[in-house]
Amino acid sequence: MKLAMQSVLLLFCFGLLSTVVVHGAEPTTPAKEPTKPAAAKVEWTSLFDGKTLKNWKIPNFGTQGEVEAKDGAIQLAFGDGCTGVTLEKDVAFPTDGYEIELAAMRVEGNDFFCGLTFPVVKTSCTFVVGGWGGTVVGLSNINGQDAANNDTAGFMEFKTKQWYKIRVRVIPERITTWIDDKQICDVDIRKLEIDVRPEVELSKPLGITSLKTTASIKDIKYRKLSDAEKKAALPKDE
């Protein structure tokens, strides 16, 4: 009998202790993750409205094809030489510390379908896409040598009637270019002479041409680099 009473008392105490533990414990709150700062908004300025040639003039290369705004793009028709557009002088555009981006498509032909001439401080340079038989990419001119004959020369296959995203970044010390987010050129220009070929002199300071090739150009825009971006883009001295 005494043993039975002890068992009952032990069970009662255990149950009371369990109740205290379960009901007396403070509920735990999951720790909140620290709030990440919002990414800085990138401000792009459009240079083409998709409908007209506002902001652009048609340079007289002498042998150019027809140029028109049609189907949401600037259409550069086949010519016996360069065909293109040049930004009007009264349209503000930076000379350094910027990125410019556009979409380009080769419609017909086998030479460059995008020769993007862009300002570099007091001069200009051209990013050639698909030249010299249709595959050469590079910068013209560096130390008097064009894209096929300087250290930026590269080769890339391009499909007809396919859009490619072209991007160029410029600071006074460096030029970097991309095609579809693949880096093509990355050049420390501090000790180099930068200019353009005579054939695209009329594209300066900012213009887009094709050579003996029908091309379409759209989504032309640019943005200014932040101070942090310009600092990060500086060449690293050996």
Q: What is the pTM for the complete model shown? A: 0.83
Report in angstroms the alpha-carbon separations of 107 from 7, 46, 76, 237.
94, 23, 9, 42
Provide the pLDDT for residue 5. 43
Q: Which helix (H) or strand (E) element contains residue 4?
A: helix 2-24
User: pLDDT (tens digit, 9 = 90+) per residue, 60-76?
Assistant: 999 999 999 999 999 99
Which of 25-39, 123-137, 195-209 has the weakest average pLDDT?
25-39
CATH architecture of 45-233: Sandwich (2.60)
Confidence of residue 11 (pLDDT cuts 50, 70, 90): very low
Please give the biggest Cα pair distance in the chain: 121
Please spell the DSSP secondary structure of 126-192, one letter per residue.
Answer: EEEEEETTTTEEEEE-BTTB-TTTSTT-EE----TT-EEEEEEEEETTEEEEEETTEEEEEEE-TTS
Domain ranges of the chain: 45-233
Provide the pLDDT for residue 7. 46
Instruction: Please check whether residue 165 is in contact with residue 226, taking contact to mean a CB–CB distance below 8 angstroms.
Output: no
Residues 6+ apart with CB under 8 A from 196: 117, 124, 125, 126, 140, 141, 203, 204
Chain centroid to CA 235: 19
Q: Which helix (H) or strand (E) element contains residue 212?
A: none
Residue 21 has pLDDT above 90, yes or no: no
Q: Judging by DSSP bridges, how do beta strands 154-155 and 123-131 pair with one another?
A: unpaired
User: pLDDT (tens digit, 9 = 90+) per residue, 95-114?
Assistant: 999 999 999 999 999 999 99
Hey, what long-range contacts does 89-96 have (CB within 8 A, 24 or more apart)?
91/47, 91/55, 93/119, 93/205, 93/206, 93/222, 94/119, 94/222, 94/224, 95/119, 95/120, 95/121, 95/122, 95/205, 96/120, 96/121, 96/170, 96/171, 96/172
